[in-house]
Amino acid sequence: MLTSPAGIFDATVVRVCTALNEIGIATTFVEKACGFLENVRIVNGTLHIAPECDASDVLHEAGHLSIIPSRYRSRANDDLDVLTKFMLEDLDLVNGDEPDSPLYRAVIQCSDPEATAWAWAFGKHLGLPEEEIIKDDQYPDENGVPTGAEVRMCLAMRAYVGINGLAHAGFCSVNRFGRLPVYPKLAYWTQEL
Query: pLDDT of 164-175, one tens digit each?
Result: 999 999 999 999
Parallel, antiparallel, or unpaired for β 7-8 and 3-4?
A: antiparallel
Long-range contact set of residues 75-82: C-beta below 8 Å, sequence gap at least 24: 75/44, 75/45, 76/42, 76/44, 76/45, 77/42, 77/43, 77/44, 78/35, 78/36, 78/41, 78/42, 78/43, 79/36, 80/36, 80/42, 80/110
Nearby residues of 142 by Cβ (< 8 Å), 6 or more positions away: none
Cα–Cα distance measured from residue 160 to residue 90, given in angstroms and rounded to the nearest whole number? 29
Share of the chain above pLDDT 90, in %: 86
CB 122 within 8 A of CB 49: no
Cα–Cα distance measured from residue 141 to residue 150, given in angstroms and rounded to the nearest whole number? 11
Q: DSSP label at 68?
A: S
Lowest mean pLDDT across 22-26, 63-67, 89-93, 121-125? 89-93
CB 183 within 8 A of CB 117: yes
CB 168 within 8 A of CB 109: yes
Lowest mean pLDDT across 7-11, 25-29, 120-124? 7-11
Question: Cα 180 to chain center, whole Å?
Answer: 19
Question: For the whole model, what pTM was predicted?
Answer: 0.94
